[in-house]
Amino acid sequence: MHRGLLAILLTLVSALTLSSQELEWSVDMNAVFNNREGGDEETPDQTFIFTRITPQIGVSMDSARHRIMGGVTWYQPMNDHLHGYKVLPSLYYMYKDDKKGYKFAIGVIPDAIKMPKFLQSDSLNYVNPNIKGFMIDVHKPHFYFLSWLNWRQLRTKNHREAFDVTGQVFWLKHFNENNSLKAGGLVRYNHLAKSYDYSDPTQGVVDNFNINPQVEYSHQWNNGYFGATAGILISCDHDRHFPKWHKPVGFLGNLKGNWKWITINEDIYAGDRQMPLYDNFSTLLYQGDQFYHNKFYSRTDLIATIFNRDYLNLEVKLTYHVTEKVTAFWQQLAVRFYLDKNLWKQYRNKKKGGDYLPLQPLF
């Protein structure tokens, strides 16, 4: 047994020694002002003003196919006494093969996924954008698969176990360079279990399933883009204390248009109230936007991109929420600064008269 472990260790050390190793680093910073007016007791008036910075450092091997990265995500509200800050460590391994279109990562992965709003709200994404688990990404010219496990909370005496598993799969049909069709969908299983405190009779296992089949048509041209998506959102929710299953179903659609520096995005939901157990478990179970806890919901985003470079993005966003009960109006100013080793090389290459290289995202 010990000889086997020693052989594995020597093999890993030899591989690291023989492989070409490079230092990797990145800095990702977001500064956001988001003022929210309107809503109700579930979405009260409030203002988010914060900075969030994620420095990372690590090492890559075999032409960056293997990468180990570590760092922190520091969320800091801009208040008088610096209360409410969060420091979230990140440490993950990633395998990436661009030729075959494969990516895999495991660990605590910072800000890697932009989820639909019915899965994760803006507010929760501000505070905790990391994935604690693993991610798989397969990207082919006519096929796309993405799946992740996010373990939100470990089971302790005072905390209940909470995790979700999500998978997306889409088939792509390109009619020509301007028109394409995408068909597929998303499936999520969301789980809330008990803590180790068995004396609490109110605790029971809770299950939440989401299924979202959809079809999307898109058309793009030199200065713009238009896309239309239509689908169905099906949910199944069950508190095992009770025999009843809740099965809300509704239409979920999206229209998105972009012309130069202006973007309009419209999300529409109509049907049964999603998140039927929200009044009992709130964000302990559900991570999605509370506006979907209505029979009708329209969200309109008007976005103006003031400045956009590989390393810096500045945008102004006006968001209108309409349900059968309330209306709300949000105003947001957001700045994102991103720099890594590759962008730094591009900057130095540009100063010498060269061209920028394409930026490769994490996922």
pLDDT band, very low/low/confident/very high, at 78 (cuts 50, 70, 90): confident
Q: If residue 334 lies in a helix (H) or strand (E), which one and from where to where?
A: strand 327-340
For residue 4, the 8-state DSSP code is H
Strand partners, 168: 146, 186
pLDDT mean over 293-308: 95
Q: If residue 59 lies in a helix (H) or strand (E), which one and from where to where?
A: strand 46-61
Please, is 52 exposed, middle or buried when counting C-beta atoms within 10 Å of its C-beta (0-12, 13-18, 19+)?
Answer: buried
Region for 62 from its dihedrals, namely left if φ exceeds 0, alpha if ψ lies in -120 to 50, beta otherwise: left
Domain ranges in the chain are 19-351
Q: Where are the beta strands (DSSP E) in 154-295?
A: 162-174, 179-192, 206-221, 224-239, 245-246, 249-259, 262-271
Span of 65-74, 112-121, 144-153, 353-362 with lowest mean pLDDT: 353-362
**What is the structure's pLDDT at 3?**
60
**What is the structure's pLDDT at 363?**
47
pLDDT band, very low/low/confident/very high, at 359 (cuts 50, 70, 90): very low
Strands 206-221 and 296-308 turn out to be unpaired
For residue 363, the 8-state DSSP code is -
Q: What residues contact 128, with CB distance under 8 A and at least 6 apart?
A: 75, 86, 88
**What is the structure's pLDDT at 117?**
93
% of the chain residues with pLDDT over 70: 89
**What is the structure's pLDDT at 358?**
43
132 pLDDT higher than 90: yes
Question: What does CATH list as the number for 19-351?
Answer: 2.40.160
**What is the structure's pLDDT at 343?**
85
CB 346 within 8 A of CB 356: yes
259 pLDDT higher than 90: yes
pLDDT mean over 88-101: 92
